[in-house]
Amino acid sequence: MSASSDLFQAFRINRPNVVSESFEGEVVIVNLDSGCYFSLLGSATTLWLQLERSTMTINSAEAILRQTYDCDGMDIAGEISTFLNKLFNEHLIVAENLESDLDSPSSEQIPHKRPFEPPILEAFTDLQDILLLDPIHDVDDAGWPVAAAPAPDAK
């Protein structure tokens, strides 16, 4: 992943090939093309939830983490870049170039920030064969299941 000097690189979820669900503070992601699924740890959940809402750059990701976590004086841009590279390499996100950086999120301060934990992506392949066999991959715009068309009347 690299951007030219006059463009900003932004990232978005690789939909429809990637689906995710958030529950009780955990995010589980499934890559429907590879059959791999993933769990997010640390500040990765915060970053993914932001990706679900909108496109994100490294700068906007850093602003979100600094707003949410106690990471004053820490160089977290490297942690974010490493995490986004992992997501990109697993085909969970795609990159696009922007002519200008995204607006930073509101500067509203959270009174009690959580301690910073690096974003971590855990990968699992134990259900890969089952997920790849799932007929949901054959869904079209009409959804699944689709009722069969009525048979023509035999005369």
pLDDT one-digit tens code per residue, 26-70: 899 999 999 999 999 999 999 999 999 999 999 999 999 999 999
Identify the H or E element spanning 143. Answer: none
User: What is the rounded CA–CA span in Å between residue 29 and residue 6?
Assistant: 32
Tens of pLDDT, residues 95-144: 998 776 655 555 555 667 899 999 999 999 888 777 777 555 555 565 55
Q: Is residue 148 in some structural domain?
A: no
pLDDT at 5 over 50: no
**Domain containing 122: what range?**
8-138
Q: How does residue 1 score in pLDDT terms, banded at 50, 70 and 90?
A: low
- How many separate domains does the chain show? 1
Instruction: Name the nearest CA neighbour of 124 among 57, 53, 35.
Output: 35
Rounded to two decimals, the pTM is 0.75
In a domain, residue 152? The reply is no
Closest CA to 27 of 136, 104, 121: 121
- Does the pLDDT at position 85 exceed 60? yes
Is residue 66 domain-resident? yes
Q: Does the residue 128 lie in any domain?
A: yes
| Amino acid 66: pLDDT | 93
On whether residue 114 sits in a domain, the answer given is yes
**Rounded Cα distance, 99 and 8, in Å:** 6
Distance of CA 121 to the CA centre of its chain: 11
In a domain, 65, yes or no: yes
Query: What gap in Å lies between CA 59 and CA 81, rounded to an integer?
Result: 10
Q: 3 in a domain, yes or no?
A: no
For residue 149, is it within any domain? Answer: no
Q: With CA atoms as reference, report the closest residue to 65 among 104, 21, 103.
A: 104
